[in-house]
Every structure is written in structure tokens, then in C-alpha cells.
Amino acid sequence: MVKTKRELIIPVSIITIVSAMLGFCYTVHPSSAFAPTAEANPRIIYWPPTEVWRYGDFFNINRGWINARSIVWSPSGKYLLIFGEIQHTNYGSANTLIIDMENGTPAHIFNLDAEVGYERCSQFAFSPDETKIFYVSFSYSDWLPQIFSVDLDGSNPTFITYMNSTTGTSIRKPYLIDVTSNGLLIYSSCEATYNVTSGQYNYTSYLWKYNLTSNEKSLVLKLEGFDNVITSLKVSPLNDKIAYAVGNEVWTVDINGTEPPVSVTSASIKKVVTSIDFTPNGTMLTYSEIIANITDFGISYQSYDPSFSGNITAVNLDGSNKRVILNDAYGLAWSPINDSLAAYIRFIPPDSWCGYPYIIDFNMPITPNPDSDGDGLPDADELRNFLNPIDPTDLNKDYDEDGLTNLEEIIYGTYMGTTDFDHDGLSDGVEVKVFRTDPTKADTDGDGISDGLEAAATGLNAFISVLPEGWIRMQLQWSNKTMYVSTNSSVLGVVFNSTSMALSISVGGQDGTRGVANITIPVEMINSLSAVKVTLDNQPIDFQISQTGGYAQIYVQYHHSYHELTAHLSSSGVGIGGVDLTGLMSYWWIILSVAIVAVASVIAAIIVKRG
């Protein structure tokens, strides 16, 4: 039933180091998500909380998630709108999430009747006074896309204007809109008109300017041809220019349409430019490019294709200083109040079809595998393991109450919603922390007898629970006697030697931190309080002992490393009979002493292996 040396060293080393890191990162709060740090740049802006429901022995992990498809800031930078697929544990399914960027919490979450579907190229806009959101909806009565506004909570939809120039045309996606600070609605439309003579459609793309006060509409730009569909647009912060993309080309045009368009740059061949934005000072453009085709229906692409994620490119308005500034990204939007801060949609391989809302500060070094909550586990690993990437406390929790923290479940390859992963009759925590068996194998030593039956033969029963702050509590029952151990250390094995009346616990922790153990023993198992001795690695150590009712309580502190902590209950060494479990731990000290070496390398190897 004893694991190999290699199996033991790796999990204990990682648990010890990451648990210690948790102690230093405990003050991180989701509200700070809008302000990246050097250790977490970029950082996830917001992630819905996780809830765990228990039905008898079954645990349901209700995990919120976000697949962002479009993002936009409000003019003051107070709000960020995230549009996409949103599953929130408190609100259910929705497609529109407005984050209050002053405290990092949802201001509103609702379903917007936007004609977007699974498009990632469509755009939304805030009104200058931040009381309205502009979007495109589709009327199935006349089959024409229309621009609407709603209040920030999704209520009070109000018709603004049709996107078509005439009712005799149809509109191809994407639907693109923006609003200037002085109340001009800018939008594009690619209109198709059927030519009876040729039997084909003629395509014309328009850039329109619509005055939200006077309701006057005027033409800024007109482009003829099948390949001239506008795939992205953005108004300059100075309200003087419109940047737009046509296929793989980037252009700017005077907002009044009085000057001819100016070519800025071109993207890679066979790619389509999307998500154009001006930097806050208006001197530079950023954009993303994806592998896609222009078709009769608009942009044709597969959003689940890894090639879709692409990168973000920056370029001066005159076409100079072009360079890639961000990889695995799409949909970047600059903060209107901070020249270095931007929100964007990040794709984490291999989940490249899901978009995660991140914020980044380009004045700081960019972390290639960020850890948004600073808990020691990268976002990608948290997202793949049902954890919240902006909650630094969830690694220390025990969702299924099996005695293993969520972090330990990841390390040992079990599942945090199942108490007995290998169905051998032993909870995962008891296997790891008492009998040192493999929680993923019903018969660790391969002798044909399950771990549960072998454990039962020892006469020792155990129950493990995880306490707040990462402490664990063990209830150990031998014969009709019940012993308790609570500790802040990592534990890998417990031995009760009934011949010598000694309870030994393998404890570990990061060097330099303090270990604490509370051991509670029935007084009938000891000769007297004064007869009890405690050793650490076979050396005497100071401890406190007291009696409460029918129990003796032992309190001991020690400096963390890897130790064998033993409570000797009888100075005579004469036991009361029963089973001797020493054989289960005969090699533990040799194994654990090796674990001190190359901890950092072990952690890196495990993270790579799990990714």
C-alpha cells in the first residue's frame, strides 16, 4: 500500500510551497481586478463565483463562466461592457455584463436582444452621458437591422434608426457602431441589391453619421464592390477621424467625409482586420487580424479554430512603427482615462474558442502565463479545474469534503466533486494523509486486495476534514478509542503504534514558516499527563498539555521543514494491545527527506504536465 518515492515527493513539495504562497496572497480581492500588478499582468477583469451543492453523497460544482465576444468602455472609464456567453451562478444565463471598474463588481447583467449570435466582430457603444447602450437588433417583420438604445440595466429599448439607406436592400454582417463624445452615432452598413439583368447582387458599403439630437443622417463614405465590406470601425478620441478596416486593409477618413480616405497599413494575406481602436491620445491604432473570408453573408470564420486567436498589432497613423504588442488576444479596447491600460479578450490554448476578459497595463512587464489572483496557480490551470481565477481562497477549500483541498485534488489527479475517486471505500484525503495509498487506484500495491480492505484490516479508521485557512482536522479511531489531530502542516501519513503507545504524524511545510499541531487523546490511553512525551524527528521538543474532561490536549509548535512528529503516550512503552501500523510508514523519512531538493523544478514540471 506504500507509494513509490517519486509519487510521494512531488505532491508534498508542491502542496507545501503553494500553500505557503496562499498565506501571502490572501488579501487579493476581485475588486482589484481592474488594476493589474507586476505579478499578474494581464489579469482577468471579472469571473462569476463558484457554488457547490451537496445532495447526499453527491456534490455538484456550479461553475460560472464567461465567453466574451465583444468589449467596450464607457466614456469616463467607469464601466466596461462585456458581451458574449455568460453563465452567472446568481443570475443564470445572460449575454451582457456591465462591470463597475471602480470596484470590479457587476453593475448590471441582463440579456440584450442584439442581432449578433456568435459573431465576434459586432460592436456596441455607450452614450456620452453613460446612461444608454447602443446596439443593433433585427426586426423579423421587415427583415431589416435597426439601431436601438437601452438603459444600462437593459430596460427601456428605444428605436434610433434603420441601418439601411433604403428598404430595398439587405445588410451583411458585421454590424458596427460607435458614438462620439459630442453625440454623433457612427455606423457602417454593407447593402446588397439584386441586379435583375446580371442575376447577381451588387454590394455597396457605407459609413454613416447620425446626429442623436437632431436625428439628421449624412454620408461619410461610400465603397463599391463585393470585397469592400467594412469589418471594423472606431472614432478618434478627438472626434475628427474614423478608423475602419476593409478586408485586410486599415484606413482612416475625415469624420465629415470632406477628404479622401488615407491608407494606414495592411494585415497579413488571407486575414481580416477586426477590432480597431485608437490609443487614448489618438496618435496610434491597434487592431487584431483573423483568418477569415468575405462572403455573401459577411465574414465567414470558425471561432473555435486556434488560428482565430491571432494577436494585437499597433501602428502609427502614418503607417510607421508597426509591431505586435499582444499574442493570443482579440478585441482590445483602450481605457479612455489611462494611456497604458486596456481591456481585451484573451484566448488560452487549448481552449482557444473561449474568450476571457482581461485587463493589461502596457507600462509593466507582461506575464505570459498570468495568475490573476496570485494564489500560485496560473489562470489556465484554474479554469481547466473548475476554480475561480480571481478567488485566491478556493485552492484551500475542500469542495467535496473528502479531506483533500482543491489544490491537492489537482495535484493527485482526483476530482474535487467526488469523495472517493477510485471507489475503494476510502476517502481521497484518508488515502493520502493516513494510509499513503494512491487515491486514483483502488489497489495501490497491485496485490489483488483493495486499499479499503487492507486499511480495514489495520483496525484504524480515519476521517479528514479541511478547516478554514487550510488547516486540516483528522479523526482517528482505533478499537473503541478516538483521537484527534488538527494542524496547519501538510500531512502525508499517520501511524499509531499500539505496542509502544505512540502516535506519529508526518508533517511538512515551507522552510521558515511555523507549524502548529493540536493532538487530542482520551485520558484512558495515557498513564498520566506527566508521562506523555513529544519528539520531533526522535528529538525531544517543548509542548503544552492539559486535560479537558476525558481528553488530554497536546499543543506543539515547530519550524517547518519535513518532520516526524510523535506523541509518546506512555513513558513505559507498554501498550494496551491491538495492531501495530509501523510497517505502513517504514520508509517515510527517507522518502520525504529527498523532497527538499529542487522544489521549484518539481512545481514547474507538474504545471507543464497538467497543461
179 Ramachandran zone, left/alpha/beta (phi>0; psi -120 to 50) = beta
**Rounded CA separation 607/610 (Å):** 5
Residue 193 pLDDT level (bands cut at 50, 70, 90): confident
More confident residue, 195 or 544: 544
Mean pLDDT, rounded, for 494-503: 91
Can you say how many angstroms the Cα of residue 447 is from the centroid of all Cα atoms in its chain?
41
For residue 227, what are the CA distances in angstroms to 155, 175, 262, 297, 432?
37, 16, 18, 12, 62
Mean pLDDT, rounded, for 419-423: 95
More confident residue, 515 or 350: 515
Q: Which residues contact 69 (CB under 8 A, 6 or more apart)?
A: 83, 84, 85, 116, 118, 119, 120, 122, 331, 345, 355
Strand, helix or coil at 337? coil
Alpha helices (H) along 424-549: 428-430, 451-458
Ranges of each domain in the chain = 5-23+432-600, 67-373
Q: Name the residue among 203, 146, 138 with its Cα closest to residue 177.
A: 146
Q: What are phi and psi of 48, to 5 degrees?
A: -60, 150
Q: Name the residue among 486, 606, 510, 497 with its Cα closest to residue 562.
A: 510
Q: Alpha-carbon torsion 21, 24, 28, 34, what sign?
A: negative
Strand 284-291 with 311-316, pairing: antiparallel
Mean pLDDT, rounded, for 98-111: 94
For residue 46, what are the CA distances in angstroms to 61, 106, 523?
19, 8, 52
* Contacts by 406-409, CB closer than 8 A, 24 or more apart: 407/15, 407/18, 407/19, 407/377, 408/11, 408/15, 408/432, 409/385
Q: Which of 122-131, 346-355, 359-368, 372-381 has the lowest mean pLDDT?
A: 346-355
Q: Does residue 29 surpass a pLDDT of 70?
A: no
Structure-derived torsion over alpha carbons of residues 82, 85, 88, 92, reported in degrees to the nearest 10: 120
Q: Alpha-carbon torsion 443, 444, 447, 451, what sign?
A: negative
**Rounded CA separation 21/381 (Å):** 16
**Rounded CA separation 380/385 (Å):** 9
For residue 540, what are the CA distances in angstroms to 519, 558, 568?
16, 11, 10
pLDDT at residue number 350? 65
**Rounded CA separation 278/78 (Å):** 18
More confident residue, 303 or 245: 245
pLDDT at residue number 127? 97
Q: Strands, DSSP E only, in 432-501?
A: 460-466, 472-478, 481-487, 490-497
> Model confidence over 527-578: pLDDT tens digits?
899 999 999 999 999 999 999 999 999 999 999 999 999 999 986 543 332 2
- Sheet holding 490-497: strands in order across? 490-497, 502-508, 562-568, 533-536, 539-540
Q: Are 551 and 522 in contact (CB under 8 A)?
A: yes
Q: What is the DSSP letter of 435?
A: I
Mean pLDDT, rounded, for 18-40: 49
Quickly name the fold that domain 67-373 has.
Neuraminidase (2.120.10)
pTM for this predicted structure: 0.81
Percent of the chain at pLDDT exceeding 90:
61
Q: Does residue 607 surpass a pLDDT of 60?
A: no
Q: Are 439 and 424 in contact (CB under 8 A)?
A: no
Q: What is the DSSP letter of 37?
A: B
Q: Name the residue among 246, 333, 247, 239 with its Cα closest to residue 285.
A: 333
**Rounded CA separation 494/474 (Å):** 10
Q: Does residue 305 surpass a pLDDT of 90?
A: no
**Rounded CA separation 215/579 (Å):** 89
Cis peptide before 157 (omega within 30 of 0): no
Percent of the chain at pLDDT exceeding 70:
82
pLDDT at residue number 572? 52
Alpha helices (H) along 319-384: 379-384
Q: Does residue 598 surpass a pLDDT of 70?
A: no
**Rounded CA separation 488/154 (Å):** 48
Structure-derived torsion over alpha carbons of residues 166, 171, 174, 175, reported in degrees to the nearest 10: 30
Q: What are phi and psi of 319, to 5 degrees?
A: 90, 0
Q: Are 68 and 357 in contact (CB under 8 A)?
A: yes
Q: What is the DSSP letter of 525?
A: G
Secondary structure string (H, E, C) spanning 132-185: EEEEEEEECCCCEEEEEEEECCCCCCEEEEECCCCCCCEEEEEEEEEECCCCEE
Q: Does residue 603 surpass a pLDDT of 70?
A: no
pLDDT at residue number 5? 33
> Model confidence over 446-478: pLDDT tens digits?
999 999 999 998 888 999 999 987 799 999 998
Residue 463: how many other CB atoms lie within 10 Å? 18
Mean pLDDT, rounded, for 434-439: 94
Task: Encode burial over 411-439: b for 16+ CB neighbours within 10 A, e otherwise.
Answer: bbebbbbbbbbbebebbbbbbbbbbbbbb
**Rounded CA separation 166/312 (Å):** 36
